[in-house]
A = this chain, B = another copy of it.
Amino acid sequence: MKIIVDAFGGDHAPDEILAGSLAAAKAYGVQLLLVGDEEAIKARAAALNMDISGCEIAHAPSVITMEDEPKAVLKQKHDSSMTVGLTLLADGKGDAFVSAGSTGALVMGGTFIVKRIKGIKRCAIASVLPSDKTPFMLIDCGANVVCEPQFLCQFAVMGSIYMNRILDVASPRVGLANIGVEETKGTPFVRDCYDALRQEKAIHFIGNAEVRDIPAGVCDVVVADGFTGNVILKMYEGVAGMLNKNIKALFKKNALTMLGALCVKGGLDEFRKKMDYKQYGGAPLLGLQAPVIKAHGSSDARAFQHAIRQAKECVEKSVVDEIIRNLPPIEPAAPKES
């Protein structure tokens, strides 16, 4: 199996990307096709004493930056590591693509270069997040800020397949992110989504997922439009990050508190492990014709390694084929929801 790697995407590229990729190649036995400025890759590998002799390299002189418009991936920066990597994937030169670069560009490039599965209206960013119980998938996390109810039904189907195949959840419970459990809650759009999801036979819909209960783990797949999903994702990160920072500072205050830290170290490490999003890898872009994984922009080597593991699992467990097989039949002239 060959994983195509965007060696220049992310805050810590290329060093951490290279380190994580090599670790993944060793740990999971995958082949690597590194995409980026060839000289720079070789120079960094030499400087960091990394042996990349077993890797293929595809030269791509430019890089999509966070300042670039997402559409730059299509034309203006057609020689970027992301564009070249996605094109290699579309051409069948590798089995999956992993990038820690710009999410917007990856969605745009994935949609127009790798292309959507026939019948899929929109691809979605799907994050697997920790909860107090078992991990859950949040889909869409931000690819589509404006959605139609049918999009959310497809997100629910794709998310259910992923949770079943990759995380071995039997009959994943799907909840609609909403501001209350009652079906009358939410905006008219959210209520339309509720009705559409209820009629979707390919999923196990359990109703609204009251947002307050999401971190406690009320379901296996939380569906939302990309705006709401992104708000949920970022509040999760923001609150957890702020609290974690304070707890850390608290333990580091003085000798006594450091002793306190030692006393709870075992349990704290265990809890940190449970909450560690890095272990779940990155966020798959579901709905494309081949596996594309968005690693977190701040990925270090370990996070990137897990993103490659996740790409490998998507290939092995035929997530794309499963989505194609399980897609509800396409209604040729479905009336547009108002």
Contact = CB atoms under 8 A, between A and B. Distances in A.
A267 B263 contact: no
Contacts of A239: 215, 235-236, 239-240, 243
Contacts of A256: 263-264
Contact of A238 (B213, B247, B261): B213
Interface string A176-201: 01010000001110100000000000
A299 to B, nearest CB: 16
Given A240-B243, A264-B250, A231 B234 contact: no
B238 A212 contact: yes
Residue from A186, A188, A234 having most chain B Cβ neighbours under 10 A? A234
Nearest to A188: B146
A257 B246 contact: no
A238 B238 CA distance: 12
How many copies of the polypeptide does the oligomer hold?
Answer: 2
A244 B337 CA distance: 42
Contact of A251 (B234, B262, B264): B264
A149 interface: no
B212 A234 contact: yes
B227 A215 contact: no
A336 interface: no
A142 interface: yes
27 contacts: A142-B179, A145-B186, A145-B187, A146-B188, A179-B231, A187-B227, A190-B227, A212-B234, A212-B238, A214-B238, A215-B235, A215-B239, A215-B242, A228-B228, A231-B232, A231-B235, A235-B235, A235-B239, A236-B239, A239-B239, A240-B243, A243-B243, A253-B267, A259-B260, A260-B260, A260-B261, A260-B262
Given A247-B271, A261-B263, 18 more contacts: A142-B179, A145-B179, A177-B231, A211-B230, A211-B231, A212-B235, A215-B238, A215-B239, A216-B241, A228-B228, A235-B239, A236-B239, A239-B239, A246-B271, A250-B271, A256-B263, A256-B264, A260-B261
